[in-house]
Structure 1
């Protein structure tokens, strides 16, 4: 399970971790019954406080995504519809791959070099990240947040 923390982000580290673990659970990357890293192990790996991981696991447990078993670990729970979602995700990735290949092929036919194609890809990625971040920010402003300490 890969988790990436952006330390300079305005999003709290605990939320970054929680959202990524949630995404792994819902995408099928983590399967029902999979054991999450121990609190201590994940905290060390991400260089965060152990209490941060405890809070993340507790919140995921409250959402019904994981089950914390004292002395055993934290395990992913089955989620309705995840198998279908995982299959759909695979199909969508396959479709995207074919479409992307067709765009690259068209670029080569238009005489674009590999360097030019890489620059276009990098610019497209940067644009998409900006748009997604702006959408997420707008969505956060629209929905009231319930905070528990």
Structure 2
């Protein structure tokens, strides 16, 4: 079944983001071989060239490296993975806080809402 994409950003960027999240979550482990471009393109329902571009983006970020004739692998640099994971977390937190402030929440209220949510007291 093909993946779904939104129209707000290029498909290759969305593909790269999905693979990046699989890497950062540990679903794709450090040193693990990635599916081939063709395999993942078929799974996602995209052109292999689009998938190739996504993998190239991940290589530029240092999350993926290529072994000649052996395919692509997740980086084994655990410090880099931790740094990128914290960067992603920081971006998500900033977006959350900005959105909460935009709808009128004060800092103390944001902390209380988050605390309640984490305790399972969702409203």
Contact 1:27-1:82 within 8 A present in 2 as well: no
| Among candidates 28, 31, 34, match of residue 33 of structure 1 | 31
1:99 is matched with which residue? Answer: 119
Note if 1:18 corresponds to 2:16: yes
Contact 1:28-1:83 within 8 A present in 2 as well: no
Q: Partner of 1:80: helix, strand, or coil?
A: helix
- For residues 96 and 39 of structure 1, the distance between their equivalents in structure 2, rounded to whole angstroms, comes to 43
Contact 1:5-1:17 within 8 A present in 2 as well: no
Contact 2:63-2:81 within 8 A present in 1 as well: no
Shift in alpha-carbon separation, 1:83–1:48, aligned structure 2, 3 A: same
1:80 is matched with which residue? Answer: 79
What TM-score does the superposition give when structure 2 sets the normalisation length?
0.60
The alpha carbon displacement at 1:4 in A equals: 4.3
Q: Which has the higher contact order (CA 8 A, sep 6+)?
A: 2
1:70 is matched with which residue? Answer: 68
The alpha carbon displacement at 1:5 in A equals: 3.0
The alpha carbon displacement at 1:99 in A equals: 1.4
- Aligned residues, how many? 93
The alpha carbon displacement at 1:27 in A equals: 2.9
1:118 is matched with which residue? Answer: none
- For residues 81 and 11 of structure 1, the distance between their equivalents in structure 2, rounded to whole angstroms, comes to 25
The alpha carbon displacement at 1:70 in A equals: 2.5
Which structure would you say has the larger Rg?
A: 1
The alpha carbon displacement at 1:63 in A equals: 1.2
The alpha carbon displacement at 1:81 in A equals: 6.2
Contact 2:3-2:43 within 8 A present in 1 as well: no
What TM-score does the superposition give when structure 1 sets the normalisation length?
0.51
